[in-house]
Amino acid sequence: KEVIYCDTIGSTNDYAKEIAKNAKEGTIIISEEQTKGRGRMGRYWHSIKGDGIWMSIILKPNIYPHEAPFITQIAGASIVSGLKKLGVNSLIKWPNDIIINNKKVSGILTELGAEIDRINYIVVGMGMNVKTIDFPENVKELATSIKKEGHNLKRIDILKSIIEEFEHLYLKYIQDKDKSECIKICRENSAVIGKNIYILKGEEKRKAKCVDITEEGNLVIINNNIKEELISGEVSIRG
Ligand code: BTN
């Protein structure tokens, strides 16, 4: 495996996309600090030096573009199960937030380099607040860190644990076409199954109850007795 380690960088996702074409599958870019860390929906991602894990993995799977959202589920499952191995319980707020005590500790940003019917590369960005104590005013109430939740862990140990899980679940999916272990983790550690939520899609906002996650990694919701499947990447949800 190739690991590119930086002291400072704009965004590990941006850099990964720049080098993706000539990079080997599995290349990991990791930085102590990001000056232009990005979250979903063009939001800013706070990535102070030494506070967390800011990394991106370059993948080149032979799958169709519409299957790419499943990679986000693999990332979520590997974060939750990587943390569990170190004694930290967390939940997945489908599709891409990892929470502890209802606050966000980690987020995933999956980006695609694709043509109509084929994928050139996928960049999976993962950010985790490990030692952060002070968060920016606008996310203070919503964010937490591993340390704030009472765990004194080294970033390198968390990183190793997550990458091991990711490699295992990713290879199961790519080599054996087996999604079941990943889906099991997503279901058993879901923060939303059984809950009433709001679904945001563009300007639209509606209420529904989450009932399950499908074998494909889609969220099943029910509203006025009508069942519907949501695909990650198209929607965002609120509690
Ligand atoms: C989100 O929850 O909105 C996703 C946050 C993703 C943050 C990570 S940190 C490493 C990688 N580089 C970025 O610029 N963003 C992702």
pLDDT tens digits for range 136-152: 999 999 999 999 999 99
* Cα–Cα distance for residue pair 164/160, rounded to 1 Å: 6
The yes or no reply on domain 3-188 and CATH 1.10.3720.10 is no
Q: Which amino acid is at 39?
A: G
Residue position matching structure tokens 């996928």? 122
Please tell me the predicted confidence (pLDDT) of residue 239: 76
Averaged over 201-224, what is the pLDDT?
92
The yes or no reply on domain 196-238 and CATH 2.30.30.100 is yes
Residues paired with 28 in a beta bridge: 3, 57
Residues whose beta carbon lies within 6 Å of some atom of ligand 1: 11-13, 34, 37-40, 43, 45, 47, 54-56, 96-97, 107-109, 125-127
CB of 200 within 8 A of CB of 237?
yes
Q: Which atom of ligand 1 is nearest to the CA of 36?
A: 14
Model confidence at 234: pLDDT above 80: no
Question: According to the annotation, is 40 in a ligand binding site?
Answer: yes
Residue 97: closest CA among 75, 124, 65 = 75
Element (H, E) at 161: helix 155-176
Q: Which pTM value belongs to this model?
A: 0.96
Beta strands in the chain (DSSP E): 3-9, 28-34, 52-59, 91-93, 97-100, 103-114, 119-129, 196-201, 204-213, 219-223, 226-230, 236-238
Question: According to the annotation, is 85 in a ligand binding site?
Answer: no
Q: Which atom of ligand 1 is nearest to the CA of 41?
A: 3
Residues 146-152: contacts with CB within 8 Å, 24+ apart?
146/83, 146/88, 146/100, 146/105, 149/88, 149/100, 149/101, 149/105, 151/86, 151/87, 151/88
Model confidence at 232: pLDDT above 90: no
What is the pairing mode between strands 119-129 and 196-201?
A: unpaired
CB of 4 within 8 A of CB of 28?
yes
What ipTM does this complex have?
A: 0.99
Q: Which DSSP state fits 187?
A: H
pLDDT tens digits for range 98-124: 999 999 999 999 999 998 889 999 999
CB-side neighbour CA atoms (13 Å) of 7: 0
* Cα–Cα distance for residue pair 128/105, rounded to 1 Å: 6
Q: Where are the domains of the chain?
A: 3-188, 196-238
Mutate to test the pocket of ligand 1, among 8, 109, 238 (most ligand atoms within 8 A of CB): 109
pLDDT tens digits for range 142-192: 999 999 999 999 999 999 999 999 999 999 999 999 999 999 999 999 999
